[in-house]
Structure 1
Amino acid sequence: MLKRRISLATAAAGAALVAVTLTGCGSNAQPIQVNLAASEVLAQAAQKTAEVTSYTVDAVVNVTGSQDDSGKVQGRMLYQSKPQLAVDLTLDTVDMGQRALPGGVRAVLQGDTVYVKVEALKELVGATKPWIKVSLSDMGGSDQVKQTLDQIQQFDLANVTKMVTTSQDVKSVGTETVDGTDATHYSGTFPTDVAVKQLPADEQEQARRGLAELKDVKFDVWVGSDGLPRKLALNGKEQGTTLDATLFFKGFNEPVTIEAPPADQVGEMPKGTTN
């Protein structure tokens, strides 16, 4: 269910990303100090991201495995939490499990209403307008709309940052520039079973599906001097399935413009397509 904060935990590609506290570990004094420092940075980053009211994210997620499990999702999203929750998501590429969406997906969420633009909806549900309006209080729309809502859940800054904080082997590996911003690069792994439990209860099952059979995920995160993540890369492999995801974050707390599509381009979900 989408609530006040969008739970962006994934369905389409398995980029569900996870949560909260970190403890350092090491075999002697030097590694322990390094790991604790890295842990504290990530814990503070998780705290700071919870206070962010707007941002932009660009992401690409690749999953390789069997034909039914392989695919790619690529796109960008604008997010704001004030004065009301709003999201503008554009997925240029949606190709999962041999099911591609020609023309991609566009979704705009404002408050309790989501507007979805998917070319395939015209054929699947007989839509007569470019956009379809769906109330979040009525989540029984077509499978295609449900999948679109799931795909919206990929890009959540707060949940992404939370995930990496369950690592017990994170360490600083240097400084680099990300999109013109100096950032410290941290690397480590996190156990997915522990990480998923840090998410809100109603998001955990979806996150487990997204992470598939991955037991441990390697991550690299680049944190700016303001304590906010600028880039996150995830990689995991288990039983022939590989997850590779990269997300770039920017525009923290900057004004964003998210508008509903023109009324004359919006239709309701055709009757007979809800369950």
Structure 2
Amino acid sequence: MSVYRKKTAVAALAAVLLMGGATACDDGKKDASGKAAAGASAQPGKPVADGRAIEALAAAYKKTSAAKSAKVRMTMSMPASLEGGGAVEMTGVQGWDPTVMDITMKGGPGAARGVDSMHVIMKNDVMFMEMPADSPMSGGMGGKRWMKLDMNAAAAASPDAEALKRLGGLGGVEQSQDPAQQLALLLTSPNVKHLGAEKVEGADAEHYKGTLSFEEMLAADASSKALTEGDRKKLVEAMKTAGVKGYDMDVWVNEDGYPVHMKVGMNMPQGTMNVDAFYSDYGSAATVQTPPENETLDLFGMLKELGAAGAGAGA
């Protein structure tokens, strides 16, 4: 494999690992009723959640689940010890039932390799990354524009995909940055509070805040769960895999009952990953068009070649 192809594969993999913080498989159907969350009750000796805040967030969860898509503007700040550490900006559209994404990503591993921005599409658990023609990362593409990775196939087919499995866990922790799942996570917190009315980009909104530790997630009883049991099990396993200790969450809900601003801090052994997201145009069609097959290069295939070349060299 040429040096160009090796550098391109490594850079693209780094982008995939970074995107693992914002995307994940999410096949479980949500219970959009919001009733379970609204009935949360405190146990003696434990923090007491604000009942009215829980009711308002449960209503927002129901509306957000039903909307299924929105426009998003997001900044992710990764710990320096993680690949792609630093701030990454993502702008575009996403859907969460089913999970799709069409965004432009600025910063992160691409920027470190001379790529100012990267177009990323995700559909059916397959990620496509467009490599700008004049970028250093395009040298190993063989004239093709897009790098493709089927994350499920890669994780299932190769023992070398353990890193992808771990990042799948990291992505599961963030639940695709699906705002409905983030609301469900906040509803599990035993100490949700309403902090009052504030402005978000000039518009009225209500500010809610809560924290959630891994131990509290495990101890949450059925009355405080908005997540389905299947989604909750995936989340717990993902938190365990990534070593997540807990979350700090702030949500601003607008007058229409939708979350328009979310801030999430995820406490990990490597440091804290912070996500600052703004949402708009809920229910807008998240139509995602994947690139033609003849314009894509399979990243998993390149990784297999790298592994074979390494084994042949005794690496």
**Pair in the same fold by TM > 0.5:** yes
The residue aligned with 2:102 is 88
Write the mapping of 1:120-199 to structure 2, written as runs, cut at 5 A.
122=138, 127-135=142-150, 138-139=153-154, 140=157, 146=164, 154-195=176-217, 198=227, 199=231
1:50 positional shift: 1.8
Q: Which runs of 5+ in 1 are unaligned?
A: 1-9
1:81 positional shift: 5.9
Q: Does 1:201 align with 2:233?
A: yes
The residue aligned with 1:21 is 37
Cα pair 1:132 1:267 within 8 Å, conserved: yes
When you count strand as a share of all residues, which structure comes out higher? 1
Write the mapping of 1:88-127 to structure 2, written as runs, cut at 5 A.
88-95=102-109, 100=112, 102-103=114-115, 104-111=117-124, 113-118=126-131, 122=138, 127=142
How has the CA–CA distance of structure 1 residues 207 and 74 changed in structure 2, closer, same or farther, with 3 Å as cutoff?
farther
Classify the secondary structure of the residue corresponding to 2:37: coil
Whole-angstrom distance in 1 between the partners of 2:92 and 2:22: 15
1:35 positional shift: 0.9
1:220 positional shift: 1.5
Classify the secondary structure of the residue corresponding to 1:206: helix
Partner amino acid for 1:201? K
State, as a whole percentage, how many aligned pairs show the same letter. Answer: 20
How has the CA–CA distance of structure 1 residues 86 and 43 changed in structure 2, closer, same or farther, with 3 Å as cutoff?
same
Partner amino acid for 2:192? V
Cα deviation 1:42-99 (Å, max 9, x = unaligned) = 22222222212221121112244657795333212412367x7532132212259xx9
Across the two proteins, how many residue pairs are aligned to each other? 254
Partner amino acid for 1:53? K
Whole-angstrom distance in 2 between the partners of 1:94 and 1:39: 36
TM-score normalized by the length of structure 2: 0.61
Cα deviation 1:6-43 (Å, max 9, x = unaligned) = xxxx96386799x973736699xxx97x8100011122
Write the mapping of 1:240-255 to structure 2, written as runs, cut at 5 A.
241-255=271-285
The residue aligned with 2:52 is 37
How has the CA–CA distance of structure 1 residues 89 and 201 changed in structure 2, closer, same or farther, with 3 Å as cutoff?
farther
Partner amino acid for 2:197? T
Q: Please, which moves more after superposition, 65-74 or 108-117?
A: 65-74
Partner amino acid for 2:196? G
Partner amino acid for 1:174? G
Classify the secondary structure of the residue corresponding to 1:260: coil
When you count helix as a share of all residues, which structure comes out higher? 2
Bigger Cα Rg: 2
1:136 positional shift: 5.7
Q: Which runs of 5+ in 2 are unaligned?
A: 1-15, 25-29, 31-35, 221-226, 308-315
Cα deviation 1:218-271 (Å, max 9, x = unaligned) = 322101122221111123657783343211111101234433336664344474
Let me know the Cα RMSD of the aligned residues: 4.5
1:112 positional shift: 6.0
